[in-house]
Structure 1
């Protein structure tokens, strides 16, 4: 499994995503994580960025709604209770587990 993080320069939510991914992957097999800084809309379209930060698992954004356009904007992730600038650790564990299965 390959994880790719797409973020605009100085994205304030990128460190939060890094922290939550680290917690979600604790005790799991080694996983390759690549970070890409996205600076323009053309890159966002080519890489599949749906707001910053975007997590791709094997090239797919598990949090993107069908038809969601690419974007350089800040991104919000929602769970049953709140919205945050990064998926929760539980949300990350869920999509990572689903990808492993």
Structure 2
């Protein structure tokens, strides 16, 4: 299972996304491991371009269910459940669901 945090270095929501990831790993009962990609870094792989910041990918899929926006230098807003409140990080439940879904079909969890 591959977990990636994609961000733009000036985004104010990076720390919040990391905290949300840590909580989600704990809730899912998994050891926290992920790779981070700064969008403007030339070493960032092509598949992370086009996502706003921050984006969390589990096996290449955005945990929010959204696709590539095409504007990777902007901050994202996520709708939070039934309230529809906007927040700068994905909902913990969305991350947990993605982790659990992939963990149940993945036999290995490589080191990041």
Same fold judged by TM-score > 0.5? yes
After superposition, what is the alpha-carbon deviation per residue over 1:47-101, rounded to whole angstroms, capped at 9, x for unaligned?
A: 24421001111122232435x4322211011122111000122222122122223
Residues 2, 31 of structure 1: 8 Å contact kept: no
Mean Cα displacement is larger for which, 88-97 or 1-10?
88-97
Name the stretch that deviates more: 90-99 or 73-82: 90-99
TM-score by length of 1: 0.79
Give the RMSD, CA atoms, in angstroms.
2.3
Distance 1:4 1:62, change over 3 A: same
8 Å CA contact 1:44–1:50 kept in 2: the answer is: no
Aligned residues: 98
The structure-2 alpha-carbon separation of the partners of 1:46 and 1:26, relative to structure 1 and needing over 3 Å to count, comes to closer
| Greater strand proportion | 1
Distance (Å, rounded) in 1 between the aligned partners of 2:34 and 2:45: 18
CA contact 2:37–2:48 (8 Å) conserved in 1: no
Q: Which runs of 5+ in 2 are unaligned?
A: 105-112
TM-score normalised by L of structure 2: 0.72
* Alignment gaps of 5+ in structure 1: none
| Correspondences of 1:7-86 after superposition (within 5 Å) | 7-26=7-26, 28-39=29-40, 46-65=47-66, 68-71=68-71, 72-79=73-80, 80-81=82-83, 82-86=85-89
How far apart, CA to CA, are the structure 1 residues paired with 2:49 and 2:63? 11
